[in-house]
Amino acid sequence: MSKLYDVVIIGAGPAGLSAGLYAGRARMSTLILEKAREGGQIAQTAEIENYPGSLEVESGPTLIDRMTTQAKHFGAELVYAAVEEVDLSGPVKTIKCTDATYQAKSVIIAAGAKPVLADCPGEKEFTGRGVSYCATCDGAFFEELEVFVIGGGDSAVEEALFLTKFARKVTIVHRRDELRAAKSIQEKAFANPKIHFLWDSVIRNMAGDGVLSELTVENVKTKEMTVIKADEEDGMFGVFVFIGYKPETEVFEGKVAMENGYILTDPDMKTDVPGVFAAGDIRVKSLRQVVTATADGAIAAVQAEKYVDCGG
């Protein structure tokens, strides 16, 4: 018979790790399941200057390393496994992964969100050969080359700024004529001489011979198509896509109440299923940040403890 955990936490991003820390400190038997690597989206963030207490020195990976160490220090187990199926209905919840099935008295869903694709011909073919979704991971490959960043939100503009450390020229391609990003981030981008803008523009095709070296861009106002080719000397350029995120809720569909694909919770992180909580970017909320994810995780763990202590 497999161990019955007090709580199984699905996802080891800031929400899941924070839940793991609080559950561990409450002496709950705690298992965190992570399908890829700790950190979720934040593992790909170069600079975090808006998490209280962190300033220029903080990066996503350094913050996540400390969160992981802290959760483990208080007894949370971390297992790398992808959740394939869940049964959350009864007092004993079942979480089926690729190689094992786990049981728990309570579950905290903190599986986060994944990047939205640009959805144009050539994108899949050139992923890893010019197209990227992670500036921290791939920025250094574009030393002294030209790169394009798709999007106009905080992620796009922050990552464009980061890419100026490597690239010769960074062009933000945005479908409108103004950015969505916070004003403070916009100001930095407008002041950076390496950053250029292609407004009202959408990339319609990505092409090249082995590596990405040609883009077709449509001006959505004039409908004019422009083909942009890499400098002959460079032979290639990069495209970084930052146009939002999609919640990782596929396996929970029909199991907990959702709205537009995000999980609905009350302010205590309770879903509509007893003993099942959600925390972080995966739930319906107004601000998706590390600081709100960690707060969600803490609340979810405290509520899970109360639920388990009351006998479910």
Strand partners, 30: 7
Q: What are the structure tokens assigned to 125, written together?
A: 């073919």
Q: Which residue is nearest to ligand NAP (CB)?
A: 153
Per annotation, catalytic residue among 65, 134, 200, 234:
134
CB of 87 to ligand NAP, least distance (A): 32
Handedness of CA 186, 191, 197, 199 (dihedral sign): positive
- Comparing CB distances to ligand NAP, the nearer of 77 and 200 is 200
Shortest distance in whole angstroms from residue 232 CB to ligand NAP: 29
- Is position 138 annotated as part of the catalytic site? yes
Q: How far apart are CA 132 and CA 300, in angstroms?
A: 33
Min. distance of Cβ 169 from ligand NAP in angstroms? Answer: 20
> Between residues 100 and 225, which has the closer beta carbon with respect to ligand NAP?
225
Is 97 in the active site?
A: no
Number of Cα atoms under 13 Å in the Cβ half of residue 295: 12
* Helix/strand/coil for 290: helix
Positions in the binding site for ligand NAP (CB under 6 A): 50, 150-156, 158, 175-176, 180, 202, 242-245, 288-289
Q: How far is CA 183 from CA 112, 158, 186, 197, 241, in A?
A: 26, 12, 5, 16, 21
Pull the structure tokens for residue 132. 């990227």
- Find the shortest distance in angstroms from Cβ 220 to ligand NAP: 10
Question: Which of the following is catalytic: 6, 119, 120, 138?
Answer: 138
Minimum distance from residue 65 beta carbon to ligand NAP (Å): 19
Pick the catalytic residue from 87, 99, 119, 137. 137
Cα separation, 200 vs 217, in Å, equals 10
In the complex with ligand NAP, the residue whose CB is nearer, 157 or 308, is 157
Percent helix / strand / coil, the chain, rounded to 5: 25, 30, 45
Which CB atom, from 243 or from 300, has the smaller least distance to ligand NAP?
A: 243
Could you confirm whether 310 is annotated as catalytic? Answer: no
CB nearer ligand NAP, residue 6 or residue 158: 158
Q: Which residues are catalytic?
A: 134, 137-138
